[in-house]
Amino acid sequence: MTRWSPAGLLARIDAGQAPAIVDVRTRREFERGHVPGAVRVPFWAVKAHISEVPASPQDPVVVYCQHGPRAWMAGAALRRLGFRRIEYLRGDMHGWRKAGLREERRNR
């Protein structure tokens, strides 16, 4: 299992080489700030929103939430739907903010 460091993921984002990034938090959490380029797919509705995941099943997908549990549930759901390269953001959004990295704020 791959766990991306916040700084390592931001470097890939800045280089234009980021994997698909999926934020599985609530709409309110997402709107308050998220990893640049992330798309929001609610953890509880991954199957219903699978078309919003910007990757094919063979591509890497970085999943995160605020602290971890919802990301793991969403990752398990993605695996059941055929995705094989589920990766996680080390420290989730809490770790991203603790590192002081920039965030996007936009509605979905």
Confidence (pLDDT) at 107 = 58
Confidence (pLDDT) at 71 = 98
Confidence (pLDDT) at 106 = 73
End-to-end CA distance of the chain: 29
Domain 3-98 sits in CATH 2.40.30.130: no
Helix, strand and coil in the chain, % to nearest 5:
35, 20, 45
Give the 3-state secondary structure of residue 4: strand
Averaged in consecutive runs of 10 residues, what is the pLDDT profile of the chain (108 residues)?
Answer: 94 98 97 97 96 97 97 97 98 97 83
**Residue 88, Cβ neighbours under 10 Å: how many?**
20
Amino acid at residue number 43:
F
Record the pTM. Answer: 0.94
